[in-house]
Structure 1
Amino acid sequence: MTTDIRSLEMPNAEGYFGDYGGSFVPPELQTILDEITVAYNEIKEDPEFINELTMLMKDFVGRPSSLFHCKNLSAKIGGAQIYLKREDLNHTGAHKINHCLGEALLAKKMGKKKLIAETGAGQHGVALATAAVLVGLECDIYMGVIDIEKEKPNVTRMRILGANVIPVTRGTQTLKDAVDAAFEAYLEDPVTQLYAIGSVVGPHPFPMMVRDFQKIIGIEARAQFQEKNGKLPDHLVACVGGGSNAMGLFTAFLEDKAVKIHGVEPSGVGLEDGKHAATLTLGQPGTLHGFKSYLLQDDAGEPLPVYSVASGLDYPGVGPQHSLLKDIKRVNYVTAGDEETIDALFELSRTEGIIPAIESAHAVAYAMVLAKDLPKEETILVNLSGRGDKDIDFVVENYGKKFGV
């Protein structure tokens, strides 16, 4: 496949990023998706919409999120300098609010009555429930019962905000099954509902739309890093499940060939044991939830069960643009396992006073490994996509003794 930088200007009119993406849905739903595409293409150029979203990002979310130099952690490792883009400081605690506000405003302008979505770690669910309150829409959130038990603080937040949290008991009872359930509910009434997909996945236009709302991360980070250091970072690092926080950071730097980009997938308890969610590392092209991308699948093309200590990363597919970026070798996709991720969570907490979400700790874990072998003058920018409030009970219960908690 070509590595011409112009191939990064995606998607095309049919929603394809190279060979990936598209829309594989029933004809009646395709009609609705076409309407969403038209509406989105109109409002993204509408000054009133842009001004409203900009105001909410500033006054409600608290943007721009800050850029922080981890001096203590960098000194302890002894290699490259590690910086964090602090999406964990956003209202609701993660990057998810960036696209949820955009999707909620779009739904209201289209005359929809309800927002529905899936959630794994609960950050997307909390953000969408928050956005629904703000614009005056109903909100249904589908969540696997395993994740409901694991992420109780976020479930409580969603319910306080008035969202209807619907337990999913089928299959693995985690994120993939929550997506299945939400998608089925959307098919029952796509006219009055908008399925606010939680990542850069799904049929067109969602991978494009979520990326566009999330790219504010990279736009801010690029300007902040240059202001602070007089240059661009040498490396970018972000965790990848569906891939929204990563695309949010990466998009602003894709044409900067000197900036090396690393996406970190969960290797769970081991790639060789099958208990992982390393889609780009071990998957093959396939179709899931209405789009084509790399997919962890069996010989019959059915999605395989996946696992990660991070509920927000255990998805067998990945965003179609990530699939393209892998093929053209613009992004280096690597892995971090459960053990090193939890170690990184405690290391960041105890050197910098920042408790990251388990998802984000995958990126921190890889950045720590990467930094060791680089000279001190090199720089690594990590997207700290969420904070760890939601995870502390789970972490203490399962790993606390190791760290004296």
Structure 2
Amino acid sequence: MQKPYLESYPDKNGYFGKFGGSFIPPELEKPFQEIIKAYEEIKNSDEFIRDLKYVRKHYQGRPTPISFAKNLTNYCDGAKIYLKREDLNHTGAHKLNHCMAEVILAKHLGKKRVIAETGAGQHGVALATAAAYFGLECEIHMGEVDIKKEYPNVIRMKILGAKIVPATHGLKTLKEAVDSAFDAYLADTQNSIYCIGSVVGPHPFPMMVRDFQSVIGLEAKEQFLEHEPTLPNSVVACVGGGSNAMGIFAGFIDENDVDLYGVEPMGRGNTIGEHSASLTYGEEGIMHGFNSIMLKDKKGEPAPVYSIGSGIDYPSVGPEHAFLKTQGRTKVGLCDDKEAIDAFYKLSQLEGIIPALESAHAVGFAMKLAKTLSKDKTILVNLSGRGDKDIDFVVENHPIPNSKF
């Protein structure tokens, strides 16, 4: 009998096929081995599972519900659209699913400080929240461009007690924040742990973050059958690094009749520097300690990227996403800035739900997909975050429509 997918990948060295692995400086090999050993020790322990279940139920607000987007469905006049409401998690996004678990792991290792990068600020807010809850110091690295763009989340992190370190080199966005956070971790591995914010980075982080985020898909698979007699025909989620997508895909990955769509940001066009569509336009390459599919410039270096969604403007993608795409198990959807803004306003005005700009990419693609499918088909969208952080930026740059239609 074939083992379930989640028990089969990655292998013991962190590979999903040829993607993944651990390409790190020698001085990081010992601390990363400590993290692997600690995770293997605690992931199936009764105490860890009990603690995680407790905080998820009594602090985070899990399980998050599934909502039928009736008005949006009627507007699209096609397949029925459902939303997995990760925006209702405490802190407003899916990120707390892995942050609480990573901080429990940090305490198990005796660490005093957690370090992380953030793009849109949701991972930073979630980690600052988890650090406050468990009594650890927190240091968040964020690109200067994103600090200005996502200022409400910057204030939230500071209120929660986090130290904000601006990344001032390069494009001053998510990639540079990762660079900066890695350097800080390298300088103090004894007292710190780097809590990676997505299914990226060296082994074991792509596996760990997927495992912690799988609660989304496992909940959704059971909940969906409260709405419909069968599982969804399609599951849709935005992909930058890809944590929210792997989280919801995890519940359906062994269900071959369910199409899985990872939606990439097409930004302003298909030329290098105008989008962040790694799976669509990238090629195999190593970056930030893992092998995956990445966007490269003419020199073979990570290419400049852009998206209106600060949390998905990353030049690579989680290695598991690269593997699943090359295996044909997942499909790639595309959504550009204009479509994401339209989805942002449509979901707000038709359903009373203001989505994060990252999540709006998944909604925008789902709207296009719904129009191509018959009314007896169903689409489940992972609404990975709420848009409080984005409203000032959106309204300033994209005026509120006069009509919802």
Question: Structure 2-normalised TM-score?
Answer: 0.97
Q: Which amino acid in structure 2 is aligned with residue 264 of structure 1?
A: V
- Cross-structure match for 2:108: 109
- Cross-structure match for 1:361: 360
Please report how far the alpha carbon of residue 373 of structure 1 lies from its aligned counterpart in structure 2 after TM superposition: 1.2
Please report how far the alpha carbon of residue 25 of structure 1 lies from its aligned counterpart in structure 2 after TM superposition: 0.6
User: Structure 2 matches for 1:100-179, cutoff 5 A?
Assistant: 100-179=99-178
- Cross-structure match for 2:225: 226
CA contact (8 A) 1:7 1:18 kept: no
How far apart, in 1, do the equivalents of 2:306 and 2:283 lie?
17
- Cross-structure match for 1:281: 280
* Structure 1 residues 7 and 84: CA distance shift in structure 2, 3 A: closer
Superposed CA deviations along residues 113-162 of structure 1, whole A, max 9, x for unmatched, are: 10000000000000000000011100000001110000011000000000
Of 7-16 and 312-321, deviating more is 7-16
Runs of 4+ that moved beyond 4 A: 4-8, 401-405
Task: Supply the RMSD in Å over aligned alpha carbons.
Answer: 1.5
How far apart, in 2, do the equivalents of 1:182 and 1:148 lie?
15
* Structure 1 residues 5 and 219: CA distance shift in structure 2, 3 A: closer
How far apart, in 1, do the equivalents of 2:93 and 2:333 lie?
22
Q: Which amino acid in structure 1 is aligned with residue 332 of structure 2?
A: Y
Of 353-362 and 296-305, deviating more is 296-305
CA contact (8 A) 2:261 2:330 kept: yes
Please report how far the alpha carbon of residue 5 of structure 1 lies from its aligned counterpart in structure 2 after TM superposition: 8.2
Please report how far the alpha carbon of residue 8 of structure 1 lies from its aligned counterpart in structure 2 after TM superposition: 8.2
CA contact (8 A) 1:78 1:376 kept: yes
User: Structure 2 matches for 1:2-401, cutoff 5 A?
Assistant: 9-272=8-271, 274-400=273-399
* Structure 1 residues 276 and 124: CA distance shift in structure 2, 3 A: same
How far apart, in 2, do the equivalents of 1:55 and 1:279 lie?
37
Partner-residue secondary structure (3-state), 1:246: helix
CA contact (8 A) 2:359 2:383 kept: yes
Superposed CA deviations along residues 221-278 of structure 1, whole A, max 9, x for unmatched, are: 0000012212100000000000000000001111111001111000000113640000
Please report how far the alpha carbon of residue 402 of structure 1 lies from its aligned counterpart in structure 2 after TM superposition: 5.1
Q: Which amino acid in structure 2 is aligned with residue 322 of structure 1?
A: H
How far apart, in 2, do the equivalents of 1:274 and 1:176 lie?
13
How far apart, in 2, do the equivalents of 1:10 and 1:157 lie?
36
Question: Structure 1-normalised TM-score?
Answer: 0.97
How far apart, in 1, do the equivalents of 2:272 and 2:180 lie?
28
How far apart, in 1, do the equivalents of 2:272 and 2:169 lie?
23
Q: Which amino acid in structure 1 is aligned with residue 327 of structure 2?
A: I
Percent sequence identity over aligned pairs = 59
CA contact (8 A) 1:281 1:334 kept: no
Of 225-234 and 360-369, deviating more is 225-234
How far apart, in 1, do the equivalents of 2:136 and 2:6 lie?
38
Ranges in structure 2 where 5+ consecutive residues have no aligned partner: none
Ranges in structure 1 where 5+ consecutive residues have no aligned partner: none
CA contact (8 A) 1:60 1:91 kept: yes
How many pairs does the alignment contain? 402
Q: Which amino acid in structure 1 is aligned with residue 383 of structure 2?
A: L
Please report how far the alpha carbon of residue 9 of structure 1 lies from its aligned counterpart in structure 2 after TM superposition: 2.3
Of 265-274 and 241-250, deviating more is 265-274
How far apart, in 1, do the equivalents of 2:309 and 2:284 lie?
24
How far apart, in 1, do the equivalents of 2:337 and 2:227 lie?
33
* Structure 1 residues 393 and 87: CA distance shift in structure 2, 3 A: same
